[in-house]
Amino acid sequence: MPKLKDQVVVITGASSGIGEATALLLAERGAKVVLGARRLERLQDLAKRIAATGGEAVYAVTDVTQRSDLSRLVTLARERYGKLDVLLSNAGIAPISLLDELRVDDWEAMLDVNVKGLLYGIAAALPVFRQQGSGHFVNIASTAGLITTPTMAVYSATKFAVRAISEGLRQEAGPHLRVTIISPGFVQTGLADSMTNAETRALIADKMREIAIPPEAIARAIAFALEQPPEVDLNEIVIRPTAQR
């Protein structure tokens, strides 16, 4: 089975949570990771931690709502390592609320980050993958992309969109490109920090403390998908706490 050594992996939302855990795990397994996120200090710290354990990492401040930032991140990977093997589109926000609250700015922010950010990543990486004749998109969706509940309408819509875009991409990709959807349930991340409704944020944070699984669990699932042979396309993994309905 192919391993991850010398695979070049771009990761958005790399400064914390699932992105950080995945960067550490893939670097440990020999991948060269290219880190993108908005927080420079956290990127610098993560790159230092990877280097201290013998791994390789470069980084660039990246706002996925800016198409040019995604293009620069992909260009950084190619300039530094000569290729791009994987794009992990992990950046996401979840300022959930009841629709009656009319938090239109939050709705627009979720669309910009969760949907347009994904599309900007595809736009940056797909021509590279076509030119190389190989490449792997790994897109982080959510169990909220499988079912919606009160307060989750817009967030769920963005994650349903991630799944729809990913499936369309898979069908168009042809025999040499791979597409994997990862749909996590409750994970111990800072996602609740993006919630502008204080009551909802507190409820979600409490639920995370109660049942959430560590981000390393998602990182292992991602690594499993990446380590499949080239002719095997693992299309979707749903991973949630055993206590989550």
CATH number at residue 198: 3.40.50.720
Q: Does a structural domain hold residue 2?
A: no
Q: Is the pLDDT of residue 91 over 50?
A: yes
Q: Does a structural domain hold residue 145?
A: yes
Domain span holding position 21: 8-238
Q: Does a structural domain hold residue 192?
A: yes
- Provide, rounded to the nearest whole percent, the portion of the chain with pLDDT above 70: 99
**How many CA atoms are closer than 13 Å to the CA of 83, on its beta-carbon side?**
15
Select from 47, 14, 9 the least CA-distant residue to 30. Answer: 9
Q: Does a structural domain hold residue 154?
A: yes
Q: Is the pLDDT of residue 1 over 60?
A: no
Buried b / exposed e over 158-196, threshold 16 CB at 10 Å, is bbbbbbebbeebbeebeeebbbbbbbbbbbbbebbebbe
**Catalytic positions:** 155
Render 164-190 in DSSP notation, one character per residue.
Answer: HHHHHHHHHH-TTEEEEEEEE-SBSSS
Q: Does a structural domain hold residue 243?
A: no
Counted domains in the chain: 1
40-54, 91-105, 179-193, 221-235, range with the lowest pLDDT: 179-193
* Mean pLDDT value of segment 81-108: 97
Q: Does a structural domain hold residue 244?
A: no
Digit-coded pLDDT (tens) for 138-154? 999 999 999 999 999 99
Q: Does a structural domain hold residue 245?
A: no
